[in-house]
Structure 1
Amino acid sequence: MLKPEPVDVAKFGPAITGAASADEPSQHWDRIRARLRQEIGEDVYSSWFARLELDKVSGDTVHLSVPTRFLKSWIQGHYVERLTELWRDETGGARKVDVAVRSAAIRSQPLKAREPRATVTEQTAEPRRTAQAPAAAAVSAPVSAAFAAPADVAAGSPLDPRLTFETFVVGKSNTLAHAAARQVADAAPGAAPIFNPLYLHAPVGLGKTHLLQAVAWAGAARGRRVVYLTAERFMYGFVAALKSHAAIAFKDALRSIDTLLIDDLQFLTGKNMQQEFCHTLNALIDAGRQVMVAADRPPSELDGLDDRVRSRLAGGLVVELAPLEEELRLQILKARSQAFAEQHKGFEVPAPVLELLARNVGQSGRDLDGALNKLLACNRLTGEPVTLEMAETAIRDLVRPSDPKRVRVEDILRVVAKHYNVSRADLLSQRRTANVVKPRQIAMYLAKTLTLRSLPEIGRRFGGRDHTTVLHAVRKIDGLIASDRALAEEIETLKRLVNE
């Protein structure tokens, strides 16, 4: 066992010699930990801080440690400032808090006995509301202490306390998605799901993550065991479990929860990873547990996913969040500008400026946030008040005359089938008659030129064809366009129809 590193006790008030001086930092830490537990509630504390330990104090730096990089990242991103304030209040002097990942093989002797490792269990009471923590934290089923890294993943990805149902602005484009998410969140523990799985899809910035995290907060507050995971976090957890020979414990942890929320499913890659997700999905649904998934496109367009996974996802309720309509954009801007005004005294955005932003800046919440941040920067850095003239100049680079429609292969199939009076099934079939082959090749050509799909992906969407077949079709139509003016005009007409 390595000897403990020296503690600079001079920074902790009157000089104390002997054992008492070595114990004083630990006593400070005990009181700070008790204050933190009281502020954020037992459940949030157990989820995130039970394994935060005091290693040493050297000079003006307090050295804390956690067992995983994930916990370190979360605490640094959410609570380092608060921990610094607590140390300053406790000791009366400035302190720098450093959080590190402790090694399982070599580590300093702790200042006192470690706090027992707690497993994350179902909530028994609603935690205390604070500015740092909302009504509840994401919780998971009890996890074996034998597999630390997978356990952290099973506890869920970090949640943003701002993303709750109370801060979600509802409009025509997201009413159904909001209502379905609310139904999931309000279900009582043990209640059978109505929509399972619930699948939300939309481009970035339209509220998918907001709704998933809102479900996590609200569901946990009602006593449900909820886990929110990004696809990346799910993959990391599975790999970590395999490396630590804890795959069974990882699977059991996920499959014993009430609600599983998976974000950014389009990033789930790898055959083994998708098989494991499919098994988890089936196990939860068959056991009557709720699954909610979000991605940037519908299940039918997730070409990288296994067919069984796509089929299971499509078998639930699939809801699209449409681009934000102007009225909804205005409501969002009003809510967020009010929040900005509370944070930055003297910053006000007049109603005409909000209307200007709603009309001209993008169609997603992130676009709107960017515009408000631009106004805030101009106001703070130049001292110029926010006026219509100032706003027109400030957001000039953010204004887009029109947002191009995201073209889907499904849209192309529909337009081409109607134009050439054939069925969608004909285009996907193996039929080689002339009245089908030419429309099929044109559809493949449009899919390659109007979407970002690769040749193999397009081949799969056209009845499982090889990418060489798609390449042949693209080259053939491209060659015909150069010599056949009538066909070139026909292709342009189809492009306009697809983009309408």
Structure 2
Amino acid sequence: MESEAKILLADVAAYLQRDGGDDRLVQMLLQSVGRDLTDEALTIEAPSRFAIAYLERNRGLIEGYIEQIAFTPMALRVLAPAQTPTLEPPAGAPAPQPELIGAPAGAAANQPDRVPEPVTPITTTPTPAAPFVSDVAGGVERGIKVRNTLSRDDYHQLVTRMNGAPATPAPAAVIEKAPEEEVFPQTPIASKFTFATFVYGDENKHAYQSAQRFAAWADEPGQVNSLFIYGGSGLGKTHLLLAIKNFLAEKKPHIRVKYANSQAYIDDFINEIGRQKTERRTILRDYHDANILIIDDIQNIIGKQASIEYFFNLMDEFIRENKKVVIASDRAPKKLGMDERLTSRFNAGMLCLVSEPGFEMKYTILKRYYETIICAADDVSEMEIDATLLGAFQAHEGHLTDEQLRHMAEISGNNIRELESFCERCASLSYEREQAGEELTAADIERVAHEYFDTAHKVIHIDTIQDVVEEFYHVSHEELIGPKRSREIAFARHVAVYLANSLCDLSATAVGEQFGGRDHSTIIHSLKVVEKKIKEDRRVCDDLQQLKNKITLRS
């Protein structure tokens, strides 16, 4: 049954990725191995000890997708790496021999008490990260591309075809009939993408508050009809879109919401063009029937002529019918080449820029992720995990001090997904150091950062430091390097000298030459002034961290 388990596992990962689910969870599912499939449960082998706790934490979401694909409730069983599953024999029957698990079909046929094999699950239209699985046996293609709105009768007919039996002849013309029940089943709420888990600051506060406002007014016609969030990759746009979707699914389930990223929209469009020809149905019906349409990464649709034209028509329909739209893109509407009416519509609605996180936000993200995810992974007492599995791995991560987290924030890049992975790596390395009786050093953190970011070992020039300090303290360059000694100008000069001494590979004399030819003793005096202020006033320390972050980003 291992092959069926692998097919079903691949389908779950494909569905989750199609719906814009947690990227880390998708990767963990793709790296897992399907070991066994029965009528009651799907058994998978996790790739690592950390993955076990993460998969268990998302058990409800995964089992929801399993039920969607297999049309029957199934439990998820997660095994530790390299652990072999054991089938439960029927009452009174002898237990199967271990070597028969996963044995050829001929060997299984000689065992009358073996658990009967379940019907092979149907594979779905995949995303590029999860290749379509097909198995040609006897000239019959076993990989059937279907949508999860397939009826139970059609499902069994396809299963008959997959098993090689002649299929029931289809009627000459298929007339679309109204669905017997709602076509908008709510995805189980088991996601980290909520408003409560979003870390916001000055860089993204407007987008965060606008997303909350949109969700709050979602069922009020004519109020807050559009939200357009734009900014670079990995800055939290998808988190906000999924937070809206999850909030509405939990608090306002009567609202029909359709969420899709750009790739899912293009796949749906291409697949349903074919269905339109054979079934005479309106394409993208679930998009048209939605009350709220949420599309992520809209920039990827630009350039695909047929799909973008249909998308423009879809947006025009939503505008005319006063429906609501949420869009995320890497650039502003006016730079996407959209129809002028759409550009005007989005500009007139809530238009929000998400900027790159500064030091304080990165520090907050790292600190929250470390405390709520990494540290929480050690505590599995409230999770539904078989205690016998815990012996297969060490459920511990190393400790990260506040000073280490601040250093990580200072030298890291701006992609939030990379920040979280960076934090995991540092915690894991800290554990290795602790096991050896050592401590995680700043050099260790910088080596890990060098694998993730380009900002770890940048060459920093004094003129960059001077520019940033001048902007921060609102002084001119002439004032910074000149003879004026007023309190504000003098302290800005001390800070610039302090940063130049710590960030640039220059002697005190060389630094002094860049500040109006000041001598060695003057530079030492500036260093002492700033060091004294750091001990007296925490705000000075925070300002220095913020200045270092700005300098690193500009270098």
TM-score, scaled to structure 2 = 0.48
User: Which residue in 2 is equivalent to 1:64?
Assistant: 120
Number of residue pairs matched by the alignment: 311
Counterpart amino acid of residue 336 in structure 1: Y
User: Which residue in 1 is equivalent to 2:310?
Assistant: 276
* Alpha-carbon distance in 2 for matches of 1:361, 1:347: 19
The correspondence for 2:440, drawn from 386, 395, 401, is: 386
The correspondence for 1:347, drawn from 398, 402, 422, is: 398
* Alpha-carbon distance in 1 for matches of 2:401, 2:227: 39
Secondary structure at the residue paired with 1:169?
coil
The correspondence for 1:48, drawn from 55, 58, 68, is: 68
User: Which residue in 2 is equivalent to 1:267?
Assistant: 300
Secondary structure at the residue paired with 2:396?
coil
* Alpha-carbon distance in 1 for matches of 2:164, 2:444: 60
The answer to whether structure 1 residue 210 and structure 2 residue 261 are counterparts is: no
User: Which residue in 1 is equivalent to 2:328?
Assistant: 294
Pair 52,290 (structure 1): closer, same or farther in 2 beyond 3 Å: same
Counterpart amino acid of residue 186 in structure 1: A
Q: Where do residues 105-124 of structure 1 align in structure 2 (5 Å cutoff)?
A: 106-108=161-163, 120-121=182-183
* Alpha-carbon distance in 2 for matches of 1:250, 1:47: 25
Counterpart amino acid of residue 68 in structure 2: W
Pair 336,53 (structure 1): closer, same or farther in 2 beyond 3 Å: closer
| Contact kept? 1:163, 1:210, Cα under 8 Å | yes
TM-superposed CA distance for 1:200, in Å, is 0.3
| Contact kept? 1:360, 1:399, Cα under 8 Å | no
User: Which residue in 1 is equivalent to 2:211?
Assistant: 181
User: Which residue in 2 is equivalent to 1:225?
Assistant: 256
Calculate the aligned-residue CA RMSD, in Å: 4.2
* % identity of equivalent residues: 20
Q: Where do residues 69-468 of structure 1 align in structure 2 (5 Å cutoff)?
A: 69-70=125-126, 101-102=143-144, 104=158, 106-108=161-163, 120-121=182-183, 133-134=188-189, 161-187=191-217, 189=219, 191-221=220-250, 222-223=252-253, 224-245=255-276, 248-268=281-301, 269-303=303-337, 305-338=338-371, 339-343=373-377, 344-379=395-430, 383=435, 385-397=439-451, 398=453, 400=455
* Alpha-carbon distance in 2 for matches of 1:185, 1:52: 32
* Alpha-carbon distance in 2 for matches of 1:368, 1:256: 38
* Alpha-carbon distance in 1 for matches of 2:401, 2:454: 19
| Contact kept? 1:52, 1:64, Cα under 8 Å | no
TM-superposed CA distance for 1:107, in Å, is 1.3
| Contact kept? 2:123, 2:144, Cα under 8 Å | yes
TM-score, scaled to structure 1 = 0.53
Pair 118,230 (structure 1): closer, same or farther in 2 beyond 3 Å: farther
* Alpha-carbon distance in 2 for matches of 1:46, 1:285: 36
Counterpart amino acid of residue 324 in structure 1: P
TM-superposed CA distance for 1:134, in Å, is 2.2
Counterpart amino acid of residue 371 in structure 1: F
* Alpha-carbon distance in 1 for matches of 2:275, 2:119: 27
| Contact kept? 2:374, 2:397, Cα under 8 Å | no
Counterpart amino acid of residue 279 in structure 1: N
TM-superposed CA distance for 1:368, in Å, is 1.5
* Alpha-carbon distance in 1 for matches of 2:214, 2:292: 9
TM-superposed CA distance for 1:248, in Å, is 4.8
| Contact kept? 1:197, 1:291, Cα under 8 Å | yes
* Alpha-carbon distance in 1 for matches of 2:360, 2:215: 27
* Alpha-carbon distance in 2 for matches of 1:367, 1:40: 26
TM-superposed CA distance for 1:102, in Å, is 3.9
Pair 282,372 (structure 1): closer, same or farther in 2 beyond 3 Å: same
TM-superposed CA distance for 1:164, in Å, is 1.6
Secondary structure at the residue paired with 2:163?
coil
Secondary structure at the residue paired with 1:278?
helix
| Contact kept? 2:227, 2:351, Cα under 8 Å | yes
What's the CA shift string for 1:343-393, capped at 9, x where partnerless?
252422110011111122112313412421331453456645434443234
Counterpart amino acid of residue 204 in structure 2: N
Structure 1 unaligned blocks of 5 or more: 1-6, 8-26, 34-38, 77-99, 111-116, 128-132, 136-160, 405-498
